[in-house]
């Protein structure tokens, strides 16, 4: 038998997801049950609410995945599950489901790092060529990762404070936009002008680290100060100016790292990779450098289980297995 089918399970945050993927690069079924509507009224993800939803949804999501794939357990080679990082109570639901199923069906169990999953969301589009550079921008992460081969990850830069998506969500709150704020700001930014000068944190000259808390504070201060003077800054312009600052730093550092490490591909991953401003600016920048840029389709940017199955396939092929003592690890390192 040459083909491998991996069942992926993802419950690290607010999406209950399962998927079946063939050979790490072909999606057979991909089911995502979003909880966004339940968290909206709280303005963010409430961990306890998230865990409870996962428990309610997971069985149905799994059943639907097999139904959509028109497959049975017999055809599944391994179960891959996000073991971290994420919300511990949320992760536990997926990990326990995966353990129970793998044990009952006598399938190998493979724990997957959530960020490895985000990176492998790109492999559905095109085969990886190494060395490659991955820019991961999500609600919990902003990282530059160098990969020299499948399954190997070298962290060359990360945020020292807020993640990019976190900054988007916090600024959105100040602008009184609904959760999650990223897509809202993206939409406003498209109609605004970059008329407000917000700071860009370059940090040390050769550093590939990021910082977004100063920018966030600057947006909050300028908005409040204007309000106190009785002025109202245009939300579109705030969004456009804020986004310009984020995109400028992300692109500049990614491009510098790509040159320094002579990479053959640049990959963008994570929820903020859905940002239209970022996608456009990256595409233009890399068109000129000649380094191929991979950006996942919108649906695969945010959390899903197809990406977990794709990353799990690589671990599976490399012989990596998790034991029945696999546990959720909220601060798992890549
Ligand atoms: O990867 P993801 O679904 O969950 C984490 O692993 O964190 O990313 C969610 C983050 C949120 O902060 C959300 O506001 C942001 O991605 N996001 C966006 C856009 N779509 C989602 N940020 C900017 N522009 C977007 N279009
Ligand atoms: Zn994620």
pLDDT per residue as tens digits for the range 21-76: 999 999 999 999 988 888 888 888 889 889 999 999 999 999 999 999 999 999 99
Distance, in Å, from the CA atom of 13 to the CA atom of 279, rounded to the nearest integer, reads 24
**pLDDT at 1 (0 to 100):** 66
Mean pLDDT for the chain? 95
| Best mutation site among 16, 36, 139, 331 for ligand 1 pocket (most ligand atoms within 8 Å of CB) | 139
Distance, in Å, from the CA atom of 223 to the CA atom of 321, rounded to the nearest integer, reads 51
Tokens of 308: 């977990």
CATH superfamily of 5-119+301-317: ATPase, nucleotide binding domain (3.30.420.40)
Residues of the chain with CATH 3.30.420.40: 5-119+301-317, 129-295
Q: Using CA positions, which residue lies closest to atom 7 of ligand 1?
A: 139
CA 282 to chain centre: 17
Q: Quick one: pLDDT band at residue 8, thresholds 50, 70, 90?
A: very high
Average the pLDDT over 193-208 and give the result.
Answer: 94
Ligand 2 centroid–CA 149 distance in Å is 22
Q: Give the closest residue to 270 by CA, choosing from 258, 259, 279, 261.
A: 279
Atom nearest to 86 CA in ligand 1: 6
**pLDDT at 10 (0 to 100):** 98
Q: Using CA positions, which residue lies closest to atom 16 of ligand 1?
A: 271
Q: What is the tens place of the pLDDT at every residue in 123-168?
A: 999 999 999 999 999 998 999 999 999 999 999 999 999 999 999 9
Contact 47/60 with Cβ under 8 angstroms?
no
Peptide bond into 209 cis (omega under 30): no
**pLDDT at 152 (0 to 100):** 96
**pLDDT at 193 (0 to 100):** 97
**pLDDT at 103 (0 to 100):** 98
Atom nearest to 302 CA in ligand 1: 3
Q: What is the tens place of the pLDDT at every residue in 107-122?
A: 999 999 999 999 999 9
Q: What are phi and psi of 217, to 5 degrees?
A: -60, -40
Tokens of 190: 């498209």
pLDDT above 80 for 321 = yes
Distance, in Å, from the CA atom of 90 to the CA atom of 82, rounded to the nearest integer, reads 10
Q: What is the tens place of the pLDDT at every residue in 217-229?
A: 999 999 999 999 9
Length of the chain: 334
Distance, in Å, from the CA atom of 42 to the CA atom of 276, rounded to the nearest integer, reads 26
Please give the share of the chain, as a percent, with pLDDT higher than 70: 100
Whether 114 has a binding-site annotation, put simply, is yes
The response to whether residue 165 sits with its C-beta less than 6 Å from ligand 1 reads yes
Q: Give the closest residue to 98 by CA, choosing from 286, 280, 305.
A: 305
CATH of domain 129-295: 3.30.420.40
Ramachandran class of 137: left when φ > 0, alpha when ψ lies in -120 to 50, beta otherwise: beta
Q: What is the tens place of the pLDDT at every residue in 260-294?
A: 999 999 999 999 999 999 999 999 999 988 899 99
Residues 6+ apart with CB under 8 A from 266: 132, 133, 134, 135, 254, 258, 282, 286, 291, 292, 293, 294
Contact 168/238 with Cβ under 8 angstroms?
no
**pLDDT at 161 (0 to 100):** 97
Average the pLDDT over 174-181 and give the result.
Answer: 91
The response to whether residue 212 sits with its C-beta less than 6 Å from ligand 1 reads no
Q: Using CA positions, which residue lies closest to atom 13 of ligand 1?
A: 182
Residues whose beta carbons lie less than 5 angstroms from ion ligand 2:
138, 303
Q: Beta 78-84 vs 5-10: how paired, if at all?
A: parallel
Average the pLDDT over 296-323 and give the result.
Answer: 96
């Amino acid at each position: 038998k040459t083909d491998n089918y991996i069942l992926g399970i993802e419950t690290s945050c607010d999406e209950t997801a399962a998927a079946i993927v063939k050979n790490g690069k072909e999606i057979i079924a991909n089911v995502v049950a979003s909880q966004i509507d339940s968290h909206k009224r709280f303005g963010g993800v409430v961990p306890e609410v998230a865990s409870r939803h996962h428990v309610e949804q997971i069985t149905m999501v799994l059943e639907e995945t097999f139904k959509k794939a028109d497959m049975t357990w017999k055809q599944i080679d391994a179960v891959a599950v996000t073991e971290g990082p994420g919300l511990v109570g949320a992760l536990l639901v997926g990990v326990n489901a995966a353990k129970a199923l793998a044990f009952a069906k006598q399938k190998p169990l493979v724990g997957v790092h959530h960020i490895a999953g985000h990176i492998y969301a790109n492999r559905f589009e095109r085969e990886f060529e190494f060395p490659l550079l991955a820019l991961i921008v999500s609600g919990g992460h902003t990282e530059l990762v160098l990969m020299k081969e499948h399954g190997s990850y070298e962290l060359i830069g990360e945020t020292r404070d807020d993640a990019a998506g976190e900054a988007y969500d916090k600024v959105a709150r100040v602008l009184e936009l609904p959760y999650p704020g990223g897509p809202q700001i993206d939409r406003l930014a498209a109609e605004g002008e970059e008329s407000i000068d917000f700071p860009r944190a370059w940090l040390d000259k050769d550093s590939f680290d990021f910082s977004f808390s100063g920018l966030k504070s600057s947006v909050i201060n300028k908005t409040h100060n204007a309000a106190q003077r009785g002025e109202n800054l245009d939300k579109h312009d705030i969004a456009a100016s804020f986004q310009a600052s984020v995109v400028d730093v992300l692109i500049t550092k990614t491009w510098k790292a790509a040159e320094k490490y002579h990479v053959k591909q640049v990959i963008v991953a994570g929820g903020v990779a859905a940002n239209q401003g970022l996608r456009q600016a990256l595409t233009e920048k890399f068109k000129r450098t000649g380094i191929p840029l991979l950006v996942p389709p919108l649906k695969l940017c945010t959390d899903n289980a197809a990406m977990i199955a794709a990353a799990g396939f690589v671990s599976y092929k490399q012989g990596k297995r998790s034991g029945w003592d696999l546990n959720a690890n909220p601060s798992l390192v890549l």
